[in-house]
Amino acid sequence: MTHVLELRGITKRFPGVLANDNISITLREGKILALLGENGAGKSTLMNVLYGLYQPDEGQILVRGKEVQIHGPNDAIAQGIGMVHQHFMLVPVMTVTENVMLGVEPTKHGVFLDQEKVAKRIREISDEYGLEVDPDAYVGDLPVGIQQRVEIIKVLYRHADILILDEPTAVLTPQEVEGLFKIIHTLINAGKSIIFITHKLKEVLAVADDISVLRLGKMVGSADPKQATTESLAALMVGREVALTVEKEAAKAGEAVLVVKDLFVRDEREHLTVQGVSFEVRESETLGIAGVQGNGQTELVYALTGLLQAEAGEIHLTGESIKQATPRRILERGVAHIPEDRQRHGLILSFPIYDNMMLCTYYKEPFAKGVSLQQKAIFENAERLTEQYDVRTPNIYVHAGTLSGGNQQKVIVAREFSRPIKLLIASQPTRGLDVGSIEYIHSQIVKKRDEGAGVLLVSSELDEILALSDRIAVMYKGQIMAILDAKDATKEQLGLLMAGIHPTAEIRN
Amino acid sequence: MSNLTVPAPSAEKKESKIGAIWRAISVPVLAVVTGLIVGAIVILVSGENPISAYGALFTGSFGSPAAYVEGFSIWFSSGQTGALVRAFYPLTESLVIATPYIFAGLAVAVGFRCGLFNIGAEGQFFIGALCSAFVGYSLRGLPMIVHLPLAILAGALGGALWGAIPGYLKAKFGAHEVVNTIMMNWIAFRLSDWLLKGPMKASGFRPVTPNIAASAELPRFFPDPIRFNLGFFLALLAAYLLYWFLFKTTLGFEIRSVGANPDAAKYAGMNIIRNFVLVMVISGALAGLAGAAQVLGVDHWVGQGFSAGYGFDAIALALLGHSHPAGVVLAALLFGFLRGGATNMQSIARIPIDIISIIQGMVIIFIAAPAIIRGLYRLRGAKDDDEAVLTRGWGK
Amino acid sequence: MNHAISETNSAAKKKNRFSYGIVLIAVGLFIYLAFGLNTEAGLDAVFGLNLAGSNAALIPDLTVPALPVVYLMTLVAVFVGAYQMARGSRSTGWLVGVIAVTFIVAFLMWAAQGKSFNLTGMLSSSLVRATPIALAALCGVISERSAVINIGLEGIMLIAAQVAVLVATITKSLYLGLFAALFVGGLVAAAHAYLVIRYKVDQIVSGVAVNIFGAGMTAFVSSRFMQSSGAALNNSGTFPIISIPLLSKIPILGPVFFENNLIIYLTIILVVVMHVVLYRTPWGLRTRAVGEHPKAADTLGINVYFTRYVNVIAGGVIAGLGGAYFTLGSVGRFDEAMTAGKGFIGLAAMIFGNWNPVGAYMSSLIFGFADSLQVKLQILRIPIPSEFLLMAPYIVTMIILTGVVGRAIPPAADGQPYEK
C-alpha cells in the first residue's frame, strides 16, 4: 500500500510551548485520515507545518515516499498539498474567480488577467465534483457553506491531490455537514487523499478510514473506526473518562428576570441579524441558546448588554425596559456578562490583573471615593478574588495578557460574579479552554443559577447546552426555531432545528 | 523619578529599583545618544567639526563654567550682579524654552493615552497664544490677580476649542483625528494670518499683536535679560496634575481603558465618545497653555509663525517620555537644552539650527523601533509592555 | 412582525430624504440672500474662454447676465429641494452635485458681475495646482492598497524637491534632476517601509518622523549651502510647456489639457497606468489581496512583505515626482517648507477618492479647483479675505472625512503590520 504522505517525528516549539512533540502520521492513498484532538492539542500547528506556514524544529515530511522540504505554501502547492483553512482564507471584496486565481494568475498577452479562462475552469471543477458556485459572485455575499466550496475549488484549481480540511464542520449546520461529506466522498472517488481535522467524535466515526489522536501536542494513539466508539475516542482525546454531564438539581424557576419580545437587531454592517426573537429567562433557571455560530446569537447578546442598539422590539429586565439603556445602566441593574470574545471585550490585556478585576465597578465604593481611586481597596479586591476563583498567576500586578486562556476567563468570571447579579449572560463561556477550566466554569454557572440568578447561556457546543440548560432555545437565521424543555430534547432534534428544519415531534413552549 | 516604573508596589519583584529605572529609560537615553551621533555625522559631512559644534551647544544650553566663576567672583568682591546674571542666562533660557515644550508634550501624551494622535498641537498652540494675547492687550486696568488668570484661561479655552472640533468629529463620525488635526493646523495658520494683518494688528508696519498689559505678564524672578518666569512652575504643576488625573482618578482610568482597549471599555460601561471629546479638550487646552505661557511669560506679543515646529516637537516629546507626565518633563528639559544651545551653535559654529529637527526625527524613529536600539547596543530584549496605543489606521 | 422593521427603516429613509430636501432649500435661500441681494441688476459677467499665449483657436467670450443666472440657481436649488422632500430618493452624490454646482455658479456670477473672469485660465490652473496633490494621493493609493499608510509623503516630497533642484542646477540637466528626485523619493519610502515592515514601527509615527526629518534636513541643507551660494545651487529652470499638435488647438480643452509640462502629462498617464495595473494585472490583484487579507495571500504563496516593499517604494517614487513638480515643474528653485501641506491634502484626496487612482485624481482636481478659484478671486478683489478662501480646501477635507458625503472604505488591513 502506498503512503501518499508521511510525517515523521515532527517537533515544533513556540516560546514556552511545545506545540508538537515528536508526531508521526501516515496518510494512505485515496483514504481519509482523521486527526482528532481537543482545541490546543496541536492539530493546526501540525498542519501548518505540513503546509509550510511554520518550519518544524525536528522531523521529516515524506510525499509519496520521498523526503521533501516545505519552506512555504508554494512548496506545499508544488507537492500537490492543498489546505482548506478553519478560518476561510478568502478576500470578501473580491469575486470567486479573483479569489481562486490569486497567486497563479493566467494572463492575456503576458500582462492582463485572464478572468474568463479561470471562470471556465471553475465551472469545470464545479461540474466534476458537484461544487456549485457562481464564479462572478462576490465572496462576501456568499453564505458560509458556499464559501467553503470556494475554498475547496481553490485547492482543486491548484491540482492538489492531498487535501487538508481544518475543522471544516465548525461553521456548518448538521445538514450542511452531510453535504460536505458527500463532496468528500466524490473527492475520494476521484483519487484524492484527505486529512480531516476535527474534535467532533461522531464525524470521525462517520467518515474516517484511519484515526490519529493528538493530546497536548503528542500523538496518543491510533484507532480503527470500525472498532472504535465515541467513548473510547473521547477517553483517548481527553486522557480520562469525561463527565459530559454536570451535577445539578432541577430548576426551581421563579419570576421572569429577562423578557424579550419581538426583538430586531442590526449588526455593525447594517445586516438585520436578529429578526423577531422572543423569550424569557426566569430566576434560578438556565435558558440555553443553541445554534450554529453566526445565526444572530452574538448580536442578540450585544443588544441585551447594550453594546448594540436594538432596531425594534422590547427588552425588559426585572420589569424595566432596557432597550435604550447604556451598558453601564444594564450592568448596574444586576447583569453579569461573560463575553464571547474575552480578549476583545472582557479584558484589557495591557492592564494589570487588579485593574481588570474592577473594570466594571471602578467608579464605585470601595474602589473610588469621588473621582479618587483607592489603590488599597483595589489591591485587596484582586487578592481576594484571585484566591477565591483559583486564578493561577504569580501576583496581581502582572498584565492580564500574560495569563493562559483559562485563567483569563477565570478573571472575568471572578469579576462578574463578585457583584450582586440577577441575570448572567454567558456567551461561549468555555470556548478554547482546557477540560479542567471548563468543569470549573460550568460548576460556577450552575452555582449562580442555584443562588437564584437567571442564566442565559449562548453556546454553539450542543453538549454544553444540554449539560447546563433547563430550557433550550434554538436560533437559526436570526429567529428562534423553538424553545424546548431540556429534559425532552435530543441532539438529533436540536440538530434539525439548528438547520432550520422543524422536526415532526411535538414542540412545547 | 520612580514614577517611570510600574506604579504598583511589587513585593515579588526581585529586580532592584535602579535596574527597573534603567530598564524604563535605557531605550530613550540611548535613542537620544544615537540621535546626537547621527547629528554629528551630518555636521561632519557638511564640513564642520562636530566636537566644537557640540561644545558650543553645551555652553549655549548650560552656560560656560568660566562665566560662572567670573560672575560669582565679581558678585562676591563687588556685589555687582551683571556678570552673574549673564552667566546664568543660557541655563535659565533653556528652562524658558522648555516651558512650552512641557505643556505641548503633555498635550500629545494625554492623547496617546486615549489612543488619539493629536498632530494639531501646533494650531492649538497658536490659537491659545492669540486668545491669551487678546485678553492680555485688550483689557486694561485690571489688577494682576484677575488679569493674569484670565489671560491664561483664555489660552487654555482657545486651545481646547481647537482640539474639541476634531475630537467631536472623531467621536461622532469616526473621522480620523490625524488628518483633521492637521487640517485644523492649516486653518489656524490662515486664520492667524488674517487676524494679525487685520483685527488684531498693532499699529505699525509689522503684522503682530500689540504688547500685552503688564498686569497679564507672568512674573519674572530675576533681572533682565533673564526671562525665567512663573510659567515654568505652572508647567511642572500641570505635569503633576495630569499624572494624578491619569493614574489616580476614575476619569483617568476611563481614558486609559479607552486607549488600551475601546471594546472592553464599552463593555465596562464607559462612554467612548465622551472620552474622545474630553481628551481632545484636555489635549487642546494643554497645547493652548503652551501658547499662553510663551506669550504671557516670554514674548508678550504674537507674530506670524509663532508656533512653528511645536506640533511635531510635541509628538517627539510624548514618544520620548513614553506618554508619562514625568517622562515628558524630562524630555522637554532635554529639548529645551538642545534648542537653547542650538542658537549658540548656529552663531559660533555656523551649524543651522535645523540640525535639531534632524536629530529629533532620528530620535522618534529609535524610540518607535526599540529593536534597532537594542540591536545596536546589544541590550537584552525587554518585553514591550507599554499600555499607550498610538494609532489604528484610518478608523472605521 | 416584519412590517415593524420595514416601518422603522422607511422612517429613517424618509427622515434622510427630508433633511436633504431642507439642505437644498437652505442652499437656495442662501444663494438668494448672499448673492442675489448683492448682485446688481443689469450687470453682465464676462467669462473669458481664451488663454493668452495659447495655441488654441480663438472663440468668443461668454457673456451672461449675472443676476438672472443667480436667480436661476436659486430656483434650481429650491425646486430640487422641494422635489426631494415630496418624492425624493435620488442618490446622495447627485444631490451634493446640485448643491456644489448651483452654489459655485451663483458665487461666480456674484464675484464676476460687471467684470471679466478668465474661465479657461482658471480651469487650466486648476489642473496645474491639482498635480502635486494628485501625485501625493497616488502615492497614498499605491501604498495603502498594500496596507501601508505613508503619512510621511510630505517629507518625501520636500526632500525630493530639494534634491531635484540641486542635481538639476549642478548638472544643468532637468532630466537628471528629475531622475534624482524619483530615486531619493523611492529611497526614503524604502526606509519607511523597512521600519514599518521589518520593525513593525507604528506607521503613522514613522511617517511623522519622516516628515520631521525631511523638514529639518531640507532646511539644514538650504540654510547651510543653498542660501549662501546665491543661484549657484538653487536655479534649475523648469520643464518647458509641450503643446500636443492638433489637440492643443481645440478651444478650452486644448489649453487646459494639451499645453502642459512633462510632469503634468506624466501624472495623467500615471493615473491610467495605475488603474490598469491595480485592476487588470496579476500584480494588482496580489496587491489588493495583500491590503485586504494578507493572511489569505500568504497561504497562497504570495510574499506579503515583498509586495508591500515594492508598493511603498513605488509610492515613494511617485511622491518623488510630486516633489520634483514643486521645483522643476513649477518655480525652478527650492524654498523651505514649500510643499505647504499639499501631501496631507493629497491623503485627503486619496480618502475622498476611495483609494482608487481615478477617484483620487478627480478629488485632486476638486482641491486644485478650490485653490485656483481662490487666486482668481483675489484678482477680482471680492470683499472676502483671501485667507478665508485659502481655508476652504481644509474645511472641505474635514467635511469629506465626516462621511456625510458618502463613507469611504479603506483596505481592510490598512495600517496593520503583518505577523506570520
What is the domain extent for residue A141? 3-238
> Distance from B343 to chain C by nearest Cα, in Å?
14
Instruction: Look at A262 and C4 and tell me if their CB atoms are within 8 Å.
Output: yes
Residue A450's CATH number? 3.40.50.300
Number of separate domains in chain B: 1
Task: Pick B354's closest partner by Cβ from C220, C401, C414.
Answer: C220
Which of A238, A255, A290 delimits the end of a domain? A238
Nearest CA in chain C to B47: C224
Q: Tell whether B5 is covered by a domain.
A: no
What nine digits make up the cell of B185?
493646523
Residues A69 and A137 in one domain: yes
- Find which of A309, A344, A359, A402 to mutate to test the B interface (most B CBs within 10 Å of its CB): A359
Q: Tell whether C419 is covered by a domain.
A: no
Which of A190, A222, A238 delimits the end of a domain? A238
Residues A322 and A369 in one domain: no
pLDDT at residue A280 greater than cutoff 70: yes
For the residues B86-109, what does the mean pLDDT come to?
A: 94
Residues of B with a Cβ under 8 Å from any A Cβ are: 6, 8, 10-12, 248-251, 253-254, 256-257, 260-261, 263-271, 385-387
Instruction: Look at A331 and B6 and tell me if their CB atoms are within 8 Å.
Output: no
Q: Do C386 and B363 touch, CB atoms closer than 8 A?
A: no
* pLDDT for position B255: 95
For the residues A468-477, what does the mean pLDDT come to?
A: 92
Q: Tell whether B9 is covered by a domain.
A: no
Instruction: Render pLDDT for B140-167 as a digit per residue (tens, 0 to 9).
Output: 888 999 999 999 999 999 999 999 999 9
Q: Which residues share a beta bridge with A317?
A: A258, A320
Give dist(CA A311, CA A478) in Å, integer.
Answer: 13
pLDDT at residue A209 greater than cutoff 70: yes
Interface membership of C246 toward B (CB under 8 Å): no
Give dist(CA A74, CA A11) in Å, integer.
Answer: 22
Q: Tell whether C373 is covered by a domain.
A: yes
Residues C328 and C286 in one domain: yes
Q: Tell whether C234 is covered by a domain.
A: yes
Q: How many CB atoms lie within 10 A of CB C355?
A: 24
Beta strand A210-215 pairing with A32-36: parallel
Which of C153-162, C318-327, C357-366 is predicted with the least confidence, judged by mean pLDDT?
Answer: C357-366
Give dist(CA A162, CA A150) in Å, integer.
Answer: 17
What is the domain extent for residue C318? 129-401
* pLDDT for position C88: 66
Q: Tell whether B10 is covered by a domain.
A: no
Residues A212 and A267 in one domain: no
Residues C137 and C112 in one domain: no
Residue C399 one-letter amino acid = I
Q: Tell whether B384 is covered by a domain.
A: no
Instruction: Look at B357 and C402 and tell me if their CB atoms are within 8 Å.
Output: no
Buried b (16+ CB within 10 A) or exposed e, B272-302: beebbbbbbbbbbbbbbbbbbbbbbbbbbbb
What nine digits make up the cell of B359?
536629530
Give dist(CA B39, CA B34) in Å, integer.
Answer: 9
Q: Do B217 and B230 touch, CB atoms closer than 8 A?
A: no
With beta carbons under 8 A apart, name residues in chain B contacting A349. 260-261
Choose among B125, B134, B329, B308: nearest CA to B238. Answer: B329
For the residues C333-354, what does the mean pLDDT come to?
A: 87
Residue B365's CATH number? 1.10.3470
Quick one: CA dihedral A369, A373, A377, A381, positive or negative?
Answer: positive
Instruction: Look at B266 and A371 and tell me if their CB atoms are within 8 Å.
Output: no
Residues A63 and A152 in one domain: yes
Nearest CA in chain B to C227: B352
Residues A43 and A88 in one domain: yes
What is the domain extent for residue B323? 19-377
- Find which of C5, C278, C407 to mutate to test the A interface (most A CBs within 10 Å of its CB): C5
C-alpha count within 13 angstroms, C-beta hemisphere, residue B131: 29
Residues of A with a Cβ under 8 Å from any B Cβ are: 305-307, 326-332, 337, 339, 344-352, 354-355, 359-360, 362-363, 368, 371-373, 379, 394-395, 397, 399
Give dist(CA C47, CA C376) in Å, integer.
Answer: 12
Residues C161 and C203 in one domain: yes
* pLDDT for position C408: 66
Residue C170's CATH number? 1.10.3470
Residues C287 and C361 in one domain: yes
Give dist(CA B157, CA A225) in Å, integer.
Answer: 75
Instruction: Render pLDDT for B195-230 as a digit per residue (tens, 0 to 9).
Output: 998 888 888 888 899 999 999 999 999 888 899 999
Which of A238, A262, A280 delimits the end of a domain? A238
For the residues B315-319, what does the mean pLDDT come to?
A: 88
Q: Tell whether C299 is covered by a domain.
A: yes
Choose among A304, A287, A296: nearest CA to A483. Answer: A287
Residues C251 and C388 in one domain: yes
The reported pTM is: 0.85
Residues C342 and C193 in one domain: yes
With beta carbons under 8 A apart, name residues in chain C contacting A83. 299
Instruction: Render pLDDT for B286-310 as a digit per residue (tens, 0 to 9).
Output: 999 999 999 999 999 998 888 777 8
Three-state SS for A313? strand
Q: Tell whether C416 is covered by a domain.
A: no
C171 vs B319, residue with greater confidence: C171
Cell 524610540 locates to B367
Number of separate domains in chain A: 3
Confidence of residue B15 (pLDDT cuts 50, 70, 90): low
Confidence of residue C93 (pLDDT cuts 50, 70, 90): low
Q: What is the DSSP string of B297-314?
A: IIISS-BTTTTTTHHHHH
Quick one: CA dihedral A60, A64, A66, A72, positive or negative?
Answer: negative
Q: Tell whether B385 is covered by a domain.
A: no
Chains B, C: CB contacts within 8 A come to 145
Which of C119, C145, C178 delimits the end of a domain? C119
With beta carbons under 8 A apart, name residues in chain B contacting C415. 391-394
Q: Tell whether C168 is covered by a domain.
A: yes
Q: What is the DSSP string of A191-254?
A: T-EEEEEES-HHHHHHH-SEEEEEETTEEEEEE-TTT--HHHHHHHHHSS----S---PPP---
Residues C100 and C204 in one domain: no
Residues C385 and C274 in one domain: yes
Cell 451598558 locates to A327
Residues A368 and A435 in one domain: no
Which of C68, C100, C119 delimits the end of a domain? C119
Q: Crossing angle, helix C342-352 and helix C119-145, to 10 degrees?
A: 80
Residue A89 one-letter amino acid = M
Q: Tell whether C352 is covered by a domain.
A: yes
Give dist(CA A276, CA C2) in Å, integer.
Answer: 8
pLDDT at residue C196 greater than cutoff 50: yes
Residues C113 and C136 in one domain: no
Interface membership of B187 toward C (CB under 8 Å): yes
For the residues A404-424, what does the mean pLDDT come to?
A: 90
CA angle C165, C168, C172 (to 5 degrees): 145
The share of chain B scoring above pLDDT 70, in percent, equals 92
Instruction: Look at C288 and A91 and tell me if their CB atoms are within 8 Å.
Output: yes
Number of separate domains in chain C: 2
Residue B338 one-letter amino acid = L
